[in-house]
Amino acid sequence: MKDMTCKLLVVGAGPGGYVCAIRAGQLGLDTVIVESDALGGTCLNVGCIPSKALIHAADEFHKLRLAAGGHSSIGIRVASPEIDFPYTIAWKNTLVERLNLGVSGLLKRAGVKTIKGWSTFRDGKTVEVTTEIGVQVIRAEFIVIATGSCSVELPNLPFGGLVISSTEALALDAVPSSMAVIGGGYIGLELGTAFAKLGSHVTVVEVAEKVLPQYDGELVRPVISRLDEIGVAVLTGAKAIGLSANGDGIDVEVNGVRRMVAVDKILVTVGRQPAVDGWGLEILDLDRDGQFIHIDDQCRTSMRGVFAIGDVSGQPMLAHRAMAQGEMVADILAGMKRSWDKVAVPAVCFTDPEIVDVGLSPKQAADLGIQAVSMQFPFQANGRAMTTEREDGFVRIVAREDNHLVLGVQAVGANVSELSTAFSLCLEMGARMEDVAATIHVHPTKGEAFQEVALRTLGHALHI
């Protein structure tokens, strides 16, 4: 095959990679993007999008099951509901396919050439791509590494048979009657909660002393209460030893006592690691931060002309961080003056209830030596929450004590993920509590709790 040359080569078409390529194409840069799998990467194909589709289906089914059991407080009564799980999975797949086609169309419209194949680096300017019809050599002035991440595999519980990753969990053809979830982080609890609502008997095994250890206790407490409500068993301070002797479950050690949990599936969700193996990256000898590729505030690596974005470049490993990095790098390559100056990268845990975390928590502010004030406003005092039968949770604000600059906003509650943009905008705009309090919030909405918590922290709450 004839060698290709281009201005920019993007390796990996996940959220960071395809956004970088689209923006570069819009800016007139001769751009090529290479992807060995489907466009959209883990997030679109086997992560963010399909998991949220499954969570939505589980929520809807759970509501019907409650109504069938006479537990609807708003008068809905139904006969015994059933779920056609293969149909649900097919529906999920159609959403993924639509988005795949959308990404393909956007790349084409931006003038980006897409090549399907596996990339291997020859040097910092040259990549070999193994395609279905042969090896394509591409030389580029600039290269962006956007290879993403992959699930961490436990040596004592290798994937296969009963043991599955989140990828396989999202492609099951039937709802398991029972499931052990190894790892009580956000991926494990999101999927574990969904399968519990679909009818599985779910047991979460977490080695730490609490689930969701990256969040503070106030935010996690409503989630733990809800897990208990829907029948999810949670074992903390527990270690997964391996498959049981007869292969029909998992051996777990809890507080020094060994026990066997019989399950149909074992979902391992102990984290993700950067995808740095198999690409020939060792040839480039890039500086590392642990497993991650080291970057500066412009996503530049230690090799001139080579950039890294997304999960491969460090924490937080979030799609929207990758997208923002990809857009920034394209602008830089087009001659604009850009650098990473974000105040905060918002994070959302799509459990039930959801958790939003933007900026500093009260403890983080204190650890930095900042004199801060912080209060909560409960959804029990919010009219919209009452009308949707979900009054659990709250919004919390953290601000400097001296000038009231908002340093962080957190929330836990049903559908609070939709408030995350307002929280992030508040921090990026340098808002003070007075700005939030003086902004008219639509009534009745859960967003009113944001205004109310600002008012309460300022000392003149209206609805509590």
User: How far apart are the C-alpha atoms of 191 and 348, rounded to whole Å?
Assistant: 14
Q: Is residue 156 part of a domain?
A: no
What CATH number is attached to the domain comprising 396?
3.30.390.30
Do 247 and 285 share a structural domain? no
Q: Is residue 312 part of a domain?
A: yes
**Sequence-separated (6 or more) residues with CB below 8 Å from residue 113:** 6, 31, 32, 33
What pLDDT score was predicted for residue 389? 94
Residue 176 has which token pair?
């398991």
User: Are the C-beta atoms of 138 and 123 separated by less than 8 Å?
Assistant: no
Gap between the terminal Cα atoms of the chain? 71
Domain boundary among 306, 333, 360: 333
Answer yes or no: pTM beyond 0.85: yes
Do 197 and 96 share a structural domain? no
What pLDDT score was predicted for residue 246? 86
Do 135 and 38 share a structural domain? yes
User: How far apart are the C-alpha atoms of 65 and 381, rounded to whole Å?
Assistant: 28
User: How far apart are the C-alpha atoms of 107 and 8, rounded to whole Å?
Assistant: 14
Do 122 and 23 share a structural domain? yes
User: How far apart are the C-alpha atoms of 394 and 462, rounded to whole Å?
Assistant: 16
Q: Is residue 71 part of a domain?
A: no
What pLDDT score was predicted for residue 253? 95
Catalytic site positions: 443
Do 185 and 289 share a structural domain? no
Do 143 and 32 share a structural domain? yes
Identify the segments of the chain with pLDDT beneath 50.
none
- Tens digit of pLDDT for each residue in 63-90? 999 999 888 889 999 999 999 999 999 9
Q: Which amino acid is at 250?
A: I
Domain count of the chain? 3
Do 236 and 308 share a structural domain? no
Q: Is residue 80 part of a domain?
A: no
User: How far apart are the C-alpha atoms of 84 and 174, rounded to whole Å?
Assistant: 9
What pLDDT score was predicted for residue 327? 98
Do 129 and 223 share a structural domain? no
What pLDDT score was predicted for residue 164? 97
What pLDDT score was predicted for residue 256? 87
Q: Is residue 55 part of a domain?
A: no
Q: Is residue 111 part of a domain?
A: yes
Closest CA to 111 of 182, 6, 199: 6
Q: Is residue 61 part of a domain?
A: no
Do 420 and 319 share a structural domain? no
Do 184 and 145 share a structural domain? no
What CATH number is attached to the domain comprising 219?
3.50.50.60
Domain that residue 114 falls in: 4-50+88-150+273-333
Do 27 and 133 share a structural domain? yes
Positive or negative, the CA dihedral 257, 263, 267, 268 is positive
- Tens digit of pLDDT for each residue in 367-406? 999 999 999 999 999 999 999 999 999 999 999 999 999 9
Q: Is residue 79 part of a domain?
A: no
Do 143 and 20 share a structural domain? yes
